[in-house]
Structure 1
Amino acid sequence: MKIQGKMFLWLSVFVLAVAILYGVWSKEPAGTTALFLAFGLCIMVGYYLAFTAKRVDAMAQDDTEADVADEAGEVGFFAPHSWQPLSLAIGGALAFLGVAVGWWLVYFSFPLLLIGLFGWVFEYYRGENQNQ
């Protein structure tokens, strides 16, 4: 984590230089403000990573002699195939389309969103994936 903190802190120095240079040359407030905000975000992330790196043990990425496999471990649990994300995606697309077309479309998207959400949450309580 130490190297990521240093990378973000150096990136913040670069973004600050670009923000000052852009602000002086362009005199455009929106882009200059966005670059100064990006500088602030880089400082916050870099400080957090550098601060956290002092509290945790050295990881494989901090060792220059480490192999890629040194940090390998359990990847995690992945759910089997599910149709619930499709229902959520269609319901979400209809809801956002309702903003452009008309709010009446949200009433048709709401049941799809609920079916997808409840189906995904309770996926392991029924059917072939049910825990015994």
Structure 2
Amino acid sequence: MRIQGKMFLWLSAFILVMAIVYGVWSKEPAGTTALFLGFGLSIMIGYYLAFTARRADAMAQDNKDADVADEAGEVGFFSPHSWQPFSLAIGGALAFMGVVFGWWLLYFSAPIILVGLWGWVFEYYRGESQNQ
């Protein structure tokens, strides 16, 4: 994670320089603002990754002599049969269609999004916080 943090911090420095150069030369506010927002996003991600890398164990990509097979194995737990992402996708699609067709559509999409989000977060909690 350490190398990704450094990459994002260097990327943020590059985006900042490009935002200043673009703003001075073009005098166009929309693109300059977008570049400064990109700088802010990149620095937030870089800081988070660099901060988290101090508390986490070193990974294979942090070692210059590592092989590809050093990171082989289980990546994490992914739910094999969850319908919650589908409900979130339907709710999100309805919400974005509300921007096009009318804001009244958000009244129908917000409960679908909330139910899908609630279901996804608490999918494996039953009873007294049991993992089943």
TM-score (norm 2): 0.64
For 1:52, the equivalent position in structure 2 comes to 52
Secondary structure at the counterpart of residue 57 of structure 1: coil
For 1:35, the equivalent position in structure 2 comes to 35
1:60 deviates by 0.9
Note closer, same or farther for the CA distance 1:48–1:116 as it changes in structure 2 (3 Å cut): closer
Note closer, same or farther for the CA distance 1:18–1:69 as it changes in structure 2 (3 Å cut): same
1:109 deviates by 6.2
1:38 deviates by 1.6
For 2:129, the equivalent position in structure 1 comes to none
Comparing 111-120 with 53-62, which one deviates more in the overlay? Answer: 111-120
Question: Structure 1: how far apart are the matches of 2:115 and 2:55?
Answer: 43
Structure 2 residue runs of 5 or longer lacking an equivalent are 127-131
For 1:74, the equivalent position in structure 2 comes to 74
1:10 and 2:34 are equivalent in the alignment: no
1:33 deviates by 1.7
Q: How many residues align?
A: 126
Secondary structure at the counterpart of residue 57 of structure 2: coil
Question: Structure 1: how far apart are the matches of 2:41 and 2:116?
Answer: 35
TM-score (norm 1): 0.64
Comparing 44-53 with 3-12, which one deviates more in the overlay? Answer: 44-53
Larger gyration radius, structure 1 or structure 2: 1
For 1:21, the equivalent position in structure 2 comes to 21
Question: Structure 1: how far apart are the matches of 2:118 and 2:41?
Answer: 36
RMSD across aligned C-alpha pairs, in angstroms?
A: 3.4
Question: Structure 1: how far apart are the matches of 2:38 and 2:46?
Answer: 12
Structure 1 residue runs of 5 or longer lacking an equivalent are 126-130
Deviation string, structure 1 residues 30-77 (Cα, Å, up to 9, x no partner): 211221222222222222322332333322111111122212232344
1:8 deviates by 1.2
Deviation string, structure 1 residues 67-124 (Cα, Å, up to 9, x no partner): 222122323444445666555544543454345335666677689778877887779x
Comparing 114-123 with 27-36, which one deviates more in the overlay? Answer: 114-123
Which amino acid counterpart does residue 30 of structure 2 have in structure 1? A
